[in-house]
């Protein structure tokens, strides 16, 4: 049985072969800093290569947030090259989740903002708690989503709703997310993990090779070549005054004043 040790994640596998990865930075609302990203990448590789693991549940620690986004403190000092590199790295980790040959179910237990929403969207299935909130608020920081959000959100909710969400930076409540097909199921917070185990239980009864090929076949229907463009534009935005103002305003806990420069 796998029980890997990480600094920013909890990783446990039960007797049915269902591994739970919990992002564990509750004091920062589980924001994705570079340590979390590398450990997440390791954890997915561990789950994928361990024959005893048959499915993965991914969630956040605490009751307030799944993941409140990329770590804005880390973002704030990026230059163009670093911005593009970070986006490409995040994209490649999230794409490893999407292409994992074992089902990955997100239990979205609160805020799923920015990179958090993008992470949930890279999973195969999403179960939300009734207090979950989804949004891509990057434009409020003078940025755009950089971990695949501009590519995956339109696939899940349609281009029109995706444009609205990305351009307003607004949030969708769990029931709306269900209505727009962003999540598969909404459950009370005490019940979401049970629902995820129930669903994973149904999946893991099936042939493991068939499951992995089914994931690959479904993913083949949604290949886009927009990821590189997203990463390039993300990097480009890191050179703007609006990006400096947006991230500084967040860290100083004030509203940004954008000049369009």
Give the residue numbers annotated as catalytic, written as ranges.
118, 138
Least CB distance to ligand COA at residue 218 (A): 28
Least CB distance to ligand COA at residue 146 (A): 8
- Asked if 69 touches ligand COA (CB under 6 A), the answer is yes
The nearer residue to ligand COA, 83 or 137, going by C-beta atoms, is: 137
- Binding window for ligand COA (CB under 6 A); candidates: 23-31, 37-45, 90-98, 192-200: 23-31
The nearer residue to ligand COA, 117 or 199, going by C-beta atoms, is: 117
Among 19, 31, 166, 196, binds ligand COA (CB under 6 A): 31
**Which one, of 140, 139, 135, lies nearest residue 161 by Cα?**
135
CA 2/CA 56 separation, integer angstroms: 12
CA dist 90 → 188, 189, 217, 227 (Å): 30, 28, 23, 11
The nearer residue to ligand COA, 173 or 197, going by C-beta atoms, is: 173
Among 21, 36, 53, 72, binds ligand COA (CB under 6 A): 72
Phi, psi of 107 (to 5 degrees): -105, 105
The nearer residue to ligand COA, 169 or 201, going by C-beta atoms, is: 169
Least CB distance to ligand COA at residue 18 (A): 29
- Asked if 23 touches ligand COA (CB under 6 A), the answer is no
Least CB distance to ligand COA at residue 194 (A): 26
- Asked if 71 touches ligand COA (CB under 6 A), the answer is yes
- Asked if 73 touches ligand COA (CB under 6 A), the answer is yes
Q: Output the 3-class SS for the chain.
A: CCCCCCCCEEEEECCCCEEEEEECCHHHCCCECHHHHHHHHHHHHHHHHCCCCCEEEEEECCCCEEECCECHHHHCCCCHHHHHHHHHHHHHHHHHHHCCCCCEEEEECCEEECHHHHHHHHCCEEEEECCCEEECHHHHHCCCCCCCHHHHHHHHHCHHHHHHHHHHCCEEEHHHHHHCCCCCEEECCCCHHHHHHHHHHHHHCCCHHHHHHHHHHHHHCCCCCCHHHHHHHHHHHCCCHHHHHHHHHHHCCCCCCCCCC
Among 21, 47, 68, 157, binds ligand COA (CB under 6 A): 68
**Restricting to residues 79-138, which ones interact with ligand COA according to CB under 6 A?**
111, 113-115, 137-138
- Asked if 19 touches ligand COA (CB under 6 A), the answer is no
Least CB distance to ligand COA at residue 219 (A): 25
User: Applying CB under 6 A, which residues contact ligand COA?
Assistant: 28-29, 31, 68-73, 111, 113-115, 137-138, 141
């Amino acid at each position: 049985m796998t029980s890997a040790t990480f600094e920013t994640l909890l990783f446990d596998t039960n007797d049915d072969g269902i591994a739970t990865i919990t992002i564990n930075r509750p004091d920062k609302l589980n924001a994705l800093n570079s340590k979390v990203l590398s450990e997440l990448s390791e954890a997915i590789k561990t789950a994928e290569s361990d024959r005893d693991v048959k499915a993965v549940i991914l969630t956040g620690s605490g009751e307030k947030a799944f993941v409140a986004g990329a770590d804005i403190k880390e973002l704030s000092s990026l230059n163009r090259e670093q911005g593009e590199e970070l986006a490409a790295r995040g994209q490649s980790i999230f794409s490893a989740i999407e292409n994992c040959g074992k089902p990955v179910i997100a239990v979205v237990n609160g805020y799923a903002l920015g990179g958090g929403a993008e992470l949930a969207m890279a999973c195969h299935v999403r179960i939300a708690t009734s207090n979950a909130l989804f949004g891509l608020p990057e434009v409020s920081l003078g940025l755009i989503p950089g971990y695949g959000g501009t590519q995956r959100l339109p696939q899940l909710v349609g281009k029109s709703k995706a444009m609205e969400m990305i351009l307003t930076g607004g949030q969708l409540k769990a029931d709306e997310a269900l209505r727009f097909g962003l999540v598969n199921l909404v459950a009370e917070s005490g019940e979401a993990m049970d629902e995820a185990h129930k669903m994973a239980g149904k999946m893991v009864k099936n042939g493991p090779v068939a499951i992995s090929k089914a994931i690959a076949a479904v993913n083949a229907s949604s290949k886009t070549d927009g990821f590189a463009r997203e990463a390039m534009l993300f990097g480009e935005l890191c050179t703007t005054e609006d990006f400096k103002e947006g991230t500084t305003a967040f860290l100083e806990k004030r509203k940004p004043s954008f000049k369009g420069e």
